């Protein structure tokens, strides 16, 4: 039995990314998308919705406030660019709280919390490790698509991260490097320092102290040395 899913998000591009993820998971069915809470109210009345992906910041009525108005809400996964509402979300018994940009891998982890059968999980997790995959970043007031194959390295700069890409100018994104590390596929990217993540296939040389990418020497943090050694031994 498929779960009927409703997306409630006023950002069409973010909603489209989530719709694409839903379409790739056989146990989910995309039932529709709404731009605000009032459209969602009508959709919930007209359809049987099992799972609602609910944005926090929306016009007219915030997502968590909207959820409080529902007498018998469906299961809810919050999707947002803001960390500060996580406590409110879990007090409302949300299944999970996903920070944009949402990757397929992170979505699958959230779905596994529901306890439903996910027969395609292994298959889909393999697909996200494909170097032809991609991730969206919120930069320059829009969602920017970056292919995994084009990302060379990521550098943390205070509250921002800088994504260095092939033949493209860098993207400056307000996001923690740790949250991005969780979102990136581990067979393609490696955290080598508290301030650096590198694309494994871009490493041209390494020592116990640094990795080399295109002539640049990236330091290896002491706490990351073991995982760097493990990666290089496996290759």
Number of domains in the chain: 2
Q: How far apart are CA 212 and CA 176, in angstroms?
A: 23
Q: What is the pLDDT of residue 235?
A: 54
Does residue 204 sit in the same domain as residue 162?
yes
Domain closes at, from 127, 156, 190: 127
Q: What is the pLDDT of residue 224?
A: 86
Domain closes at, from 76, 109, 127: 127
Percent of the chain predicted with pLDDT > 90: 39
Residue 234 has pLDDT above 80, yes or no: no
Q: What CATH number does the domain containing 57 carry?
A: 3.40.50.2300
Closest alpha carbon to 180 in 104, 86, 101, 81:
101
pTM value is 0.56
Q: How far apart are CA 87 and CA 217, in angstroms?
A: 40
Beta bridge partners of 212: 205, 217
Average pLDDT, the chain: 85
Between the alpha carbon of residue 70 and those of residues 41, 55, 87, 96, 191, the distances in Å are 9, 15, 19, 18, 42
Q: What CATH number does the domain containing 160 carry?
A: 2.40.50.1020
Percent of the chain predicted with pLDDT > 70: 90
Mean pLDDT of 217-223: 91
- Given strand 196-199, what is the order of strands in its sheet? 168-173, 160-165, 151-157, 196-199, 189-193
DSSP 21-37: HHHT-TTEEEEEEESSH
Mean pLDDT of 163-168: 92
Mean pLDDT of 201-222: 89
Does residue 123 sit in the same domain as residue 52?
yes
Write phi, then psi, for 87 (nearest 5 degrees): -60, -45
Residue 164 has pLDDT above 60, yes or no: yes
Does residue 46 sit in the same domain as residue 137?
no
Does residue 41 sit in the same domain as residue 62?
yes
Express each pLDDT in 116-161 by its tens digit: 444 433 333 333 344 567 888 888 878 888 888 999 999 999 889 9
Residue 222 has pLDDT above 60, yes or no: yes
Express each pLDDT in 35-94 by its tens digit: 999 999 999 999 999 999 999 989 889 999 999 999 999 999 999 888 887 877 778 888
Does residue 148 sit in the same domain as residue 111?
no
> Which residue is it, tokens 């116990």?
208
Domain, as residue range, for 145: 130-234
Cis peptide bond N-terminal to 101, omega within 30 = yes
Does residue 179 sit in the same domain as residue 153?
yes
Q: What is the pLDDT of residue 115?
A: 60
Residue 231 neighbours by CB under 8 Å, 6+ apart: 190, 200
Domain closes at, from 127, 155, 175: 127
Q: What is the pLDDT of residue 129?
A: 41
> For residue 195, what pLDDT band results from cuts at 50, 70 and 90?
very high
* Contact (Cβ atoms closer than 8 angstroms) between residue 27 and residue 2: yes
Does residue 47 sit in the same domain as residue 158?
no
Does residue 220 sit in the same domain as residue 123?
no
Q: What is the pLDDT of residue 42?
A: 95
Does residue 170 sit in the same domain as residue 61?
no
């Amino acid at each position: 039995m498929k779960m009927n899913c409703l997306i409630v998000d006023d950002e069409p591009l973010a909603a489209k990314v989530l719709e694409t993820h839903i379409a790739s998971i056989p146990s989910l069915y995309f039932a529709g998308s709404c731009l605000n809470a009032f459209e969602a109210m009508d959709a919930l009345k007209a359809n049987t919705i099992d799972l609602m992906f609910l944005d926090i910041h929306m016009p007219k009525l915030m997502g968590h406030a909207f959820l409080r108005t529902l007498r018998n809400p469906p299961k809810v996964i919050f999707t947002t660019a803001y960390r500060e509402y996580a406590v409110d979300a879990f007090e409302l018994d949300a299944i999970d709280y996903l920070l944009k940009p949402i990757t397929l891998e992170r979505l699958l982890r959230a779905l596994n919390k529901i306890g439903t059968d996910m027969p395609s999980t292994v298959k889909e997790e393999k697909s996200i490790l494909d170097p032809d995959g991609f991730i969206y970043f919120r930069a320059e007031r829009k969602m920017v698509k970056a292919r995994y194959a084009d990302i060379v390295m990521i550098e943390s700069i205070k509250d921002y991260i800088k994504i260095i890409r092939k033949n493209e100018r860098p993207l400056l994104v307000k996001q923690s490097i740790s949250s991005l590390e969780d979102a990136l596929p581990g067979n393609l990217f490696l955290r080598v320092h508290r301030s650096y993540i590198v694309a494994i296939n871009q490493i041209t040389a390494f020592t116990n102290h640094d990795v080399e990418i295109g002539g640049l020497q990236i330091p290896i943090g002491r706490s990351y040395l073991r995982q760097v050694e493990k990666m290089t031994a496996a290759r």
